[in-house]
Amino acid sequence: MNDTPNVNEVEIAKFEQIASQWWDLSGDFKPLHQVNPLRVQFICQHISEQQTDLFAKEVIDIGCGGGILSESLAKLGAKVTGIDMGNEPLNVAKLHALESGLTINYEKITAEEKALHCHEQFDMVTCMEMLEHVPEPASIVNACANLVKPGGLVFFSTLNKTVKSYLLAILAAEKILKLVPDGTHEHDKFIKPSQLIQWAAESGLNCIDASGIHYNPLSENHKLSSSLDVNYILCCQKV
C-alpha cells in the first residue's frame, strides 16, 4: 500500500474556504441540498429491496463534508460514521449535528486508513461526489469494499466524463450561472460509469443498479433519470 495519503490538498483547501456555507440552503452547496433527497430515495429503495431498513444499521459516509447525507441517514435511524480530511467541514458537521440533536461519529481519517482498522464492520457505505476529488479514486473504491460486510451495499455518486458533463457541470454551473464556485470540478477527473463499475468489480463489488441524477439549474428541477451522461449514482453489493 502506498504510504502517501490519497488526498489532494488543493481540493481540501477549496472546501475549507467555503465550509461555513455548508448548511446555507441558498449558498454554494445549494445544488447538494437539492439533490440529496434523490440520493436518499435511491438508497432507501435498495435497502428496502434487501427487505430491511436503516434502523440501527452501521453506516459510514466517505467524504462526508459538512454532513448533509450523514444527517439524512442518521434521521432514518442509522448509526452513522462520517469521515473526511477537511478540518473545517468536519467542524461544521459536528456543530450542525449537535444543533440538530443527532448523534453522528465524525472523524478526520482517510478511507484507506479507516478500512485497515474497521475491516467489514459496516452494513452500508456511501461515497458521494468524492471520487472526482482524489488522486487515486480506485483506491477509495477498494477501501469502501473492505469496509462493508459481505452482502452489504455500497453507493457511489460522481460525474461522467462526457462533453455534456463539461458543458453542464463546469461551463454552465461554474462559469455562467455561478451555482458552485469556479474551479470546483476538473473535467479530466470525471469518471465514466464503465470505469467505476470495473474498479468496483476488481474490489469484489457487484454493481446491481445505476441511475442518473438530472438537475436543471434554471427550473431547479431534479429527478432520477435513466441517462448517466452527467451526474450518476451506483448501487453495488459486496460479493
Inter-CA distances, 139 with 5, 74, 99, 115, 202, Å: 10, 26, 34, 11, 11
DSSP conformation letters of 62-96: ET-TTSHHHHHHHHTT-EEEEEES-HHHHHHHHHH
Distance CA 104, CA 66 (A): 12
Any known ligand binding at 24? no
C-alpha cell at 221: 428541477
Please state, as a whole number, how many other Cβ atoms lie within 10 Å of the Cβ of residue 190.
20
C-alpha cell at 212: 442518473
Terminal alpha carbon distance of the chain: 23
What is the dihedral sign for C-alpha 185, 219, 36, 151? Answer: negative
> Do the Cβ atoms of 124 and 57 come closer than 8 Å?
yes
Any known ligand binding at 128? yes
Any known ligand binding at 229? no
Binding-site sequence positions for S-adenosyl-L-methionine: 39, 63, 84, 128
Binding-site sequence positions: 39, 63, 84, 128
